Amino acid sequence: MIRFAEGGRKLALVLAVVASGVIGASAQQVTVNPTSINFGQVDINVVGVARRVTLINHSTTRTYSLTGISFGLPNYTVNTGLPEQTLPPGAQVQFGFIFLASEVGTYNTMITFNIQGESGVVLTVDAQAVQTNAQLTFSPTSLNFGTVNFGSTSTQTVTVTNTGGGDEVTIEKVDDGANQSALNGIYYQPFSETGPIPPTTLNQGQSATFNISFSPTVVGSTTGPFTLCYDVLPCNTVDLTGTGAMPTQLSLTTYPLPPWASQGAPYQLTMTAVGGTPPYEFRVSSGSLPTGLKISGTGAISGTVSTTANTGNYTFTVQVQDSSKPKRQSAYETLTLNLLAPPGAMCNNTSFDVGGTNTPITDLMDLGTGTYCPSGANCSECPFNENCEGGLYPSGSNTDPAQHESDGVAAAEAIQPLDSNGNPSSTGRIGMISLGESASQQPFEQFITEASGDTELNFPYLTIVDGAEGGATAGVWTNSNSAYWNDLLQYQLPFRGLSQDQVQVAWISDVDSGGNTTFPTDATTLETNFEDIAQILVTNFPNIKMMFFSSMNYTGYSNGLSTTQPEPQAYESAFGVKWAIESQIDGLCCNYNANNGAVTAPWMGWSAYYWANGMIPRSDGVTWSCQDLESDGLHPRDPIGHIKIAQYLLNWFKTSELSTPWFVAPSAQFKRLGN
């Protein structure tokens, strides 16, 4: 099957005259480079890897207005760059386009940049949708490690086999920008993975086996995903479960794969132990640390890595001895530290202190009923008379108040497939959208990719759309007429086959731009922004029921490079989320309950909170190393930072009672209940 936008002969004539990328001589000042893109072969129902082009205003004096982008076929859309914006003199604006088809065939057409008062700028696009005969089986489809003591590691295997009809499939190579091959696998502590390094091609009948390990660092049950992605098939996900337990004997409890280090940058890691008789004494008993790092007797691995230290893996064993008498007990743990070249960010900023003190900032969850008040801040202005205490929810708690949580569960259970007019339908859709800026957009794309191959999710009903966009800070989303809303409503939703009446869930991770205001003003401004956005959601999506928030990632490595959202503003932005939710809980704004009057907002609550103070681990072990971020120190790095956030989100939405009723397929919910 061959699809042309306007008939084969007419299209051929048009292509002949638009080779320059411009229709008509009057628009010569605005061109696109390159003038054509080819997606090659893309498997049906798989989104083709984005292709990038640059729209250029060659004029040195004139500003042009881009009023929209037209697509000859609905199988293409823009995923980076605003379809409506001004092009100042000399502007060079990058756009990304993606392709998706459900039928085998050739899809040749034109994409036109519409310039106000001028002829359109044309980009020719080609793609061939194919259907592979490759089929993959996973064995097993889930792993349960049972109960494992701190200081111990349990390892099981997962085998993927190409059982298809002759076609090969490749486990994709992912370049992390540091000359390392990284697998779309596990970046979710306390789980880890070793196995074939991508790209790994499986011909019919061939298999690849991966070793999945569980090394608990906290007491209690932990879940996580193991995900593999391919060139011609959707991703696959294996669910992981394990329970950490306190050992009865002396044991080292540090996660055996510590945060990555960077040449020429400070590093910090504290070894931990339990059992025996404190105090403990630590030393490296075998192997070596990168040049510049040492371990103290109290277990602190610190120093500045030499700029000439060899990159690669450093495997070493740490011994801990307790103070037992008459004979001291010993325990050992082997760790592997990966040293990479510096990514270009401010890697010296391994953590941040509370302003005007020498006390490191504590993440909101671990802060609990403690308070955050930098020197010079007027913390009496923190709302709800809480003196800026921590916790995700009121009173320093990480648990939602019972009534609000119960209402959230009821909202989740009320979500159902809707047709394009918003009526319940057995063939309808459950739309989920994201809002935010580029640091949210990029990991959420990875979240969609990983979710797409998870057989436990509620497909085909569940449809996830990435509405976040570079530059779309929270203040931008408060303008219901902004170009960012137009991009979501007019381009992103139609591409995924969704109407506004089918959207029922929103996820948002956003900030206020600039980093020029002080606490708590920056957080209260953001609180107001989030409350305004919640009300716009109800206007744009009449059937929306739930709005979930996540934190920003640590951005301290951007301090000195960017003023977009440095620390501590990224940390403080979570207070804006906390207070917006609390405002709803207290009935001060954002009513979601029709019994209490007009509904002005969806139910609001937290999803995954993943901020941590750089290299200082949270109580659950989460850290952000410089290698997790791009060279700007702000955006999560592709792929490791993207995957890190995507897997936190995937795990949260698959396990929370606020999301499983609509996010997880009914059959999988039944299975999870032990039936």
Half-sphere exposure of 84 (CA within 13 A, CB side): 13
- Report the sign of the C-alpha dihedral through residues 514, 520, 521, 525, in that order: positive
d(CA 624, CA 636): 10
User: What mean pLDDT do residues 24-33 have?
Assistant: 73
How would residue 513 be classed by pLDDT, with cut points 50, 70 and 90? low
Sequence-distant (≥ 6) Cβ neighbours of residue 56 within 8 angstroms = 30, 31, 32, 33, 91, 92, 93
How would residue 30 be classed by pLDDT, with cut points 50, 70 and 90? very high
Domains and CATH numbers, the chain: 2-130 (2.60.40.10), 136-245 (2.60.40.10), 262-340 (2.60.40.10), 402-672 (3.40.50.1110)
Please, is 294 exposed, middle or buried when counting C-beta atoms within 10 Å of its C-beta (0-12, 13-18, 19+)? exposed
d(CA 295, CA 272): 12
- At residue 258's C-alpha, the angle toward residues 250 and 267, to 5°, is 110
Of 198, 196, 175, 192, the C-alpha closest to 336 is 192
Cβ pair 149, 142 in contact under 8 A: no
d(CA 668, CA 456): 5
What pLDDT shows up at residue 449?
87
- At residue 461's C-alpha, the angle toward residues 457 and 462, to 5°, is 55
Record the tokens describing residue 108, joined without a space: 């040749």
Half-sphere exposure of 68 (CA within 13 A, CB side): 7
Using one digit for the tens of pLDDT, what is the confidence trace for 46-103? 888 889 999 999 999 999 999 999 999 999 999 999 999 999 999 999 999 999 999 9
φ, ψ for residue 84 (rounded to 5)? -125, 115
Indicate the pTM of the whole model.
Answer: 0.90
Cβ pair 628, 641 in contact under 8 A: yes
Most confident listed range (19-23, 172-176, 213-217): 213-217
Listed range (260-269, 275-284, 318-327, 507-516) with the worst mean pLDDT: 507-516
Is it the case that residue 478 has pLDDT exceeding 80? yes
Of 114, 115, 111, the C-alpha closest to 123 is 111
What pLDDT shows up at residue 45?
85
Using one digit for the tens of pLDDT, what is the confidence trace for 346-356? 999 999 999 99
Please, is 106 exposed, middle or buried when counting C-beta atoms within 10 Å of its C-beta (0-12, 13-18, 19+)? middle
Using one digit for the tens of pLDDT, what is the confidence trace for 435-452? 999 999 999 999 998 898
Q: What letter would DSSP give residue 629?
A: B
